[in-house]
Structure formats: C-alpha cells, structure tokens
Amino acid sequence: MEIQALGYLGIGGANLDDWADFATGCLGMQAVDRGAGVRAFRMDDRKQRLVVDRSFADGERYFGWEVVDAAALDALAARLDRAGVVVRREPASRADQRLVRGLISFADPSGNRLEAFHGAHVANEPFRPGRSISGFRTGPLGMGHAVLMVTRIDDALAFYRDLLGFRVSDFILKPFVGYFLHVNPRHHSLALFEAPHDGMHHLMVELFSFDDIGQGYDIALGDPERVAVSLGRHPNDLVTSFYMRSPSNMLIEYGWGGREVNDATWQPQQLNTVESFWGHDGLMRAMGGDGAPPPHVAVGAQREMPRAPLQVIDGNYQRMSGVCPWWDAVRGRA
C-alpha cells in the first residue's frame, strides 16, 4: 500500500507564543517563520513537520501521510474514490502551503482531516534545534506516532487497516480495545483506542539520545503543570518516555529507544495489558481510566517482572569491554 510514514501534523491553536516556547525550549524543535497566524517547527532536514495554525480551532487538526511519489498519490486517490471516500485533489496553492509537491485530502470515519502527500520540501539550511538535543529520529520512520481516541473503533480499523493498508503490530481487547498500527519499521505510526469521544490523545516524537529524554524531563519538571505522565517504559514498542501537556488539548510523548518491526516476520500479537514495565504514572488517568496503579507495582508483589533489552541504534551506545563471569554464566544457562 502507498502510505509510508506520518510526515507532518497540523494543529489548531490560538496560543502561538506558548507553542513557540514549548516546541523550542522544551521539545528542541526549530521555529521557522511562516507569517502571521502560523507557527511551524522543524525536526530534521524538512522545512516543517509540526504546524500550529490559528485559523483552525483548538482541537482541529490535519495529519500528513506520506507516499513515495505522484503515481502512488494517484493510486491512493483512485482507491479511495472506488471505496466511496470523498477525495479532494488539493490545488497547488495548498500544496505550497504544506511545502509539498502533491497533495490530496479526505476524512477518516471520525472526521479527522487526513492529507496524503509526496515530495516534501527539504531546507537548504541545516536543522538547528531549539535547545541542545542530539536530534529527532525521523527519516523513513516519519515524525513519530499519533494516538487517536475513536468512538467507532471497528470503522476506524476498517478504514486505516483495510483501506489505507496500515498493518497491525499488536492489539488489546480487554479491558479496553486498542490497535497499534505500522506503515514502516516504527512499531506504530498510529494507535486507535475506543473511547466515548473522538479526539487526539498524543503525538510521540523520538529522540536519538537517551539523555535528551532525561534533560527534557528536567526542563518539564521545572514547570509544575507540564508533566502529565511520569517517566516510564512501554511494553510493546519498548519506548522509554514521559508525556507533557502541550499548549493545545493534546499530549506530547517524548521518547527514546523504540523497537522496529519487520513485516517479513512480524506477527500481530494480542496484548493482555498495556501497563508499562515501570513508571508512566498518570497514563491510565490520561487515557480516561481511573488511574489505579498497575498490579505489578503493588508492594510485596511476587509476580514475574517484565523486562526487555534496550533498543539502540549505532552512535547512541558503546559496548562495554569488560566481562562479568556471574552474568555470563546466567546467560549461558538461559
């Protein structure tokens, strides 16, 4: 199928200055000038990845899903047409606004505005982060992942999986229904959770260096209302992260160490829980639950504690040269 990555996200909001301070000083994005009423932010070599637009109401947003070229965009539009989805071939003026070469738009079953594009403009100047970070993990993995709350999960799943071609990484059916979907090796570029209201829960951006996360956590902790979910590690994508309140009605997950899935070998798995290995205090509340602590943190619990190797990329780790006879013996028996 055509869609390859989450290329950009646009959100409505009137508090542009708050967004500029947050995106640069906290997240480490680079603010770029796009004129009155708009703030755009770079995360890499692209001219923009995140756009905050005053002409959209808070809560309105558009998702930019990337395809490889004009032929793929035409094929996607034709398939949507055949399925009865209303597709708009956007004029060049709108594509210029998005800084892409070709653009179509349509809506998902929840009414979210989706855009598909090819040919994102690349900046001539190198990315200059708004604070000292190593950088965002983007490229073929896209800008991160989006998590949507949807009232009609079956319709949403049929749309994203069966029509758009997103692949299920894993899913949960109890105590709530959720699906994690990938379009490239990132474990999920989109997650859908059944909820009483349609909306966006969070955008996850991933950093190269673990220290970017810790230093971001320090900065966020300096603002009493900023941290919504404490530092923790997810059991499925293995991301270590925390969640911040953004100036709009959504959270930003600031993460490191996401695993990759290989379509040739990956089998969708049913999860028994999405409770984190550790931490992430506040996540159940943020998802609309009662905030009860996960059972595995109960004092005196004797159950098996979950754990998994860190997921690292070249350049952000060094192998230790020493050996530990005790550990090597344990591994040898495993």
Binding site for Fe ion (CB under 5 A): 204, 253
Cβ distance to Fe ion smaller for residue 99 or 287:
287
- 321 contacts: CB under 8 Å, gap ≥ 6: none
- How would DSSP label each residue in 162-175? IIS--EEEEEE-SS
Q: Report in angstroms how near the CB of residue 203 gets to Fe ion at its nearest.
A: 8
Measured from the CB atom, is 106 or 256 closer to Fe ion?
256
Q: How far is the CB of 314 from Fe ion (least distance, A)?
A: 24
DSSP count for the chain of H helices, then E strands: 7, 18
Give min distance, CB of 125 to Fe ion, in A.
30
Q: How far is the CB of 204 from Fe ion (least distance, A)?
A: 4
How far apart are CB 30 and Fe ion at their closest, in Å? 23
Cβ nearer to Fe ion, comparing 76 with 146: 146
* C-alpha distances in Å from residue 19, one per residue of 254, 260, 295: 16, 30, 37
In angstroms, give the least distance from the CB of 145 to Fe ion. 6
Of 286, 313, 281, 285, residue with least CA distance to 296: 281
Task: Closer to Fe ion by CB, 107 or 177: give it.
Answer: 177
Residue, CB closest to Fe ion = 204
Nearer to Fe ion, 67 or 250 (CB): 250
Query: Which of 85/177 has CB closer to Fe ion?
Result: 177
DSSP string, 119-143: ---B-SSPP--SSS---B--GGG-S
Query: Which runs of E-coded beta strand occur in the chain?
Result: 5-12, 30-33, 38-42, 50-53, 61-66, 88-89, 102-107, 113-118, 145-150, 167-172, 178-182, 190-194, 199-207, 227-233, 240-245, 251-256, 269-271, 278-279
